[in-house]
Structure 1
Amino acid sequence: HVVVASAADILSPSGPGNPAPLEGKTVLTFREILDNYPVKLPERIVKPGDTCLIQYTGGTTGLPKGVELTHNGFATNLLQFGQWNGFEPENETILSGFPFFHVAGLLFGLIGMCLGGRQVLIPDPRNTSHICDEIARYKPTIMANVPTFYQMLLQNPMFVELDFSRIKCCISGAAPFPVDSIKALEQIVGKGRVTEGLGLTETGVIIIANPQENPKKLGTIGIPFQSTYVKLVDLNTGTNEVPIGQEGEIIVRGPQLFKCYHNKPEETAHALRNFQGEKWLYTGDVAKMDKDGYFTIVDRTKDMINVSGYKVFSREVEDTLHEHPAIECCAIVAMPDPDRPGSELVKAVIQLLDSYRDKDRAELEQQILEYFKANMSPYKRPRIIEFVDQLPLTSVGKVDKKVLR
């Protein structure tokens, strides 16, 4: 069914009161609903495991999927966040650039409403001057954004002059945040106030984060949330745990897990699998864990590059490339190797700093290739370099590698 608030809301050749037909749909005006349906509320008992909402994935690695999140799962994540971050009702002000159609934007909106905090609404996360004005006006205690959001703010001179005395944490997620950029941000907002974490649509958002009270580790996404179990399994079969320090796929089990993909039973079965007698979510994120239990993201399984049988993690190459003085942003993607069927080449797509944009590109490319030789194993080095004025971003602000491929 399609319900319209007013017949005039739909363009109709028959005039008001006769909404235009839609093929395969029954079109009802809101007036018809009021006139023809009973006023008594339907009897409905909502259980914790029932579907609360269907949230669609970002679609950066494939077609978006409808994720059925339960009442229990989403409520659990709200409480986990509040406890983890020492949320003080009535005293917190949240500023987030995540749009509300993204699961992180939904979470932070509900945190404000359900836990008793204010939220500063950001209509355009790319308008950094407006954001600086809002920070100055409302003095947020919690900021939550993707790394590119913070990197754009760092380039605005207004940002450096702001008062961040009320800031408790600047949460970063959804994409890798270079350590040098974290250090630059902490020089402004305060040491130890930048918090990286990991969340997925399928987990009602957050599963891992750097703790607020215990020591943070720059470059890591932290440790598992309360009541959340995380393991790393081998990349080939997904059936064996890997030792400390070795890369593996993150699998997770906890009360915040999703119910299923809407009308996609095969994809649900692929994501939710049995491991050691329990159902776990296979996230597709590759990480390694240190001896203290802190996780570091290495790559997405779909972003790994196969160079003649060797696995190249795009995150590792990007982190090395970010240290070059000419580079503002970059992305590493795979390209087919025409000389070796089944193998791939490493390609670097680079956005230069403004101060380097007028330099000779051929000379810059040669300098970057020499930089790779000095800092990277031969099979990891990009064989193709492309300079762009602006890396393509998704609506959330993540680099859109699907476009680059």
Structure 2
Amino acid sequence: MQTETMRQRPLRILAADDSAVMRGVMRALFLRHGADGRGAELPGMELVGAARDGVECLDAVQRLKPDVLVLDLEMPQLSGLEVLDRLRTSRSMLPVIMCSSHTERGARATLDALARGASDYVMKPAGQRDFESALFSLAQQLLPRIAALAAGRRENMIAVRSAAPASTAVQERRSDASHERRAPLEVVVIGVSTGGPAALEQLLPRLSEDFPVPVLIVQHMPKLFTGVLAERLGRICPLRVEEAYHGAQIRPGTIWLAPGDAHMEVMPQALSNWDAVRPARGAAIKLHWQEPLHHCRPAVDYLFHSAARLYGAGSLALVLTGMGSDGLDGARAIHAQGGVVLAQDEATSAVWGMPGRVAESGIAAATLPLQALAREVNQWVRTGRPARETEALRVTNHARTRGEVAHGLF
């Protein structure tokens, strides 16, 4: 009875923002959501508190026991980052959604927050004509994220209170597919959304320095954020990381991140003399601005479908944490062409939407915890590839990076 009540009660939301205007927007948002009813897609939600500074926020977390905290970055007494640090130091697993401004400083601070344990972020309404437009903009971003993040936490609490048997061991699911392949892989494509920056910061540094194929990533983010994320990843990865641009030649040993507000695909291109000795076919990046797909631009499906067309069985698709189903259709296309599909497991995903749909479809060669995925990817890309080739790539990548730095290309 208690667990059923927990499922039925509205989600308890705490907001913290020093702006009276933003607190007013939050109150109006949840009052309207409550008046409109739960609807077919989203659960009921109620705003149980609106803190004005970081100290008041921490006190409200203890008193009000919210299901989700919506946290501003810049506040008096304690900043959003300091509040987040104190929550995580106390081992609180409360889902936290950061409210970010449309500035480079806001983007950098938000990525810091995600690295420190924030679950997701939303953009503060900016440039809207009136209060109603601002309210609509925030509702479109915030409400689905709250629902997705709170769902997993609520089910975990129900399991604990019900004394359901639980295992601390991480479960790995694999199909009958092995690493034995007739031809080497030529590209790795990654799709990721909610929880993605933190997942990428754990995964990409574990790719080997002599990684023999290019990596292309679609992370659901605004443009300002993707540039900052590429910089951040480039500082911690052994491979070169760049924000993608139209026409860029795709080379092994480089990681390309799709820019926000543009779809990214791969397209064929003649090999240059530089790449003529490499065993990969010529390819370049194509950016376009078609309508959003799955409410997303960039969309994972565009990248995955293009990889299936160009590389076929030479594609490895990796679907990481995120809500929704973007990437499922493209992963099916790669699987149908004989390529490899891997998915992140539920236990290590912030939201098991995108990888969950792929895992449940039966097309994943393996569903693995995040910490095991880099090892799996490294194994797959080396299958069928002579050791001397990866050593040559390591030397070439190192020489190219040194030359580009010397010529001011970084």
Structure richer in strand, relative to its length: 1
Q: Normalised by the size of structure 1, how large is the TM-score?
A: 0.30
Q: Normalised by the size of structure 2, how large is the TM-score?
A: 0.30
Structure richer in helix, relative to its length: 2
Query: Greater RCO between the two (CA within 8 Å, min separation 6)?
Result: 2
